[in-house]
Amino acid sequence: MTTDDTTGRMGGRKVIVTGAARGIGAACARLLVAEGARVVIADLLADEGKRLADELGDTALFSELDVTSETGWQQVVREAEERFGPVTGLVNNAGVVHVDPIEQLSEADYRRVIDVNQVGVFLGMKSVIASMKSAGTGSIVNISSIGGIIAFSGILGYTASKWAVRGMTKTAAQELGPHGIRVNSVHPGVIATEMTQESDRSHGMAGKQPLAREGTTDEIARLTLFLLSDESSFSTGSEFVADGGYTTH
């Protein structure tokens, strides 16, 4: 698949998407390419990531990335600039969850979740700033969760990290706005992904909300596209919730 720089809602912009080998990240990569973006698919899942990049053609590049590694981030940004030019979009989507009550939660498991979900977002934002400044524009979308707005038992590390992403987004928006860089967070509810399909708890949650179904990865991708595009040009430092109304309770 190839896309002309002058077409689509993304008009040839250069976007890094983490956790892009599958799930929400893969849906974002596909939609962004379809809308004219050049996309770096960043993930530790090399086989799946390379397959997706091959599927999308010369408008996509796979780059293996551990989001907890600052040098890894620097390498991804270099690859993006060498292949496509200055980075103008970032989707911090990579994330993990660990389920355990607090008294049984090990320090190692807690730190692993924080490192991926929180430190990974910090490193991603930090690593693209210089590239976005050189381009004179940028939009960063941090994928949080409704677990960053309300609390859920049994996932202390996940909840802590997603609340942190919400606050980090607001601070980054304040610092980067003067440079023409917008930063927003997306807060999905129960979305049909590999992470939720094996969870009876997730299915039960979806049945209790006003829109009594799971969301789709494409629905989150479309919201992310809006935030990366000029259609959201006056939005920064804000939370965008897509949860079927779960948090209305």
Q: Do the domain assignments include residue 232?
A: yes
CATH for 238: 3.40.50.720
Total structural domains in the chain?
Answer: 1
Active-site residues, by number, are 158
Q: Do the domain assignments include residue 86?
A: yes
Q: Do the domain assignments include residue 69?
A: yes
Q: Do the domain assignments include residue 33?
A: yes
Q: Do the domain assignments include residue 2?
A: no
- Give the number of other CB atoms < 10 A from CB of residue 248: 9
1 three-class SS? coil
Residues 6+ apart with CB under 8 A from 104: none
In this predicted structure, the answer to whether residue 101 has a pLDDT above a threshold of 90 is yes
In this predicted structure, the answer to whether residue 1 has a pLDDT above a threshold of 50 is no
Q: Do the domain assignments include residue 78?
A: yes
Amino acid identity of residue 68, one-letter, is T
- pTM exceeding the 0.75 threshold for the entire prediction: yes
Nearest-CA neighbor of 217 among 122, 157, 143? 143
pLDDT at 7: 80
Question: Tokens representing 207?
Answer: 């049945």
HSE value, Cβ hemisphere, 13 Å, CA-based, for 89 = 29
Q: Do the domain assignments include residue 6?
A: no
Phi, psi of 234 (to 5 degrees): -110, 15
The range of the structural domain enclosing residue 190 comes to 14-242
Q: Cα 106–17–79 angle (5° rounding)?
A: 110
Q: Do the domain assignments include residue 117?
A: yes
pLDDT at 203: 65
- pLDDT over 90, % of the chain: 92
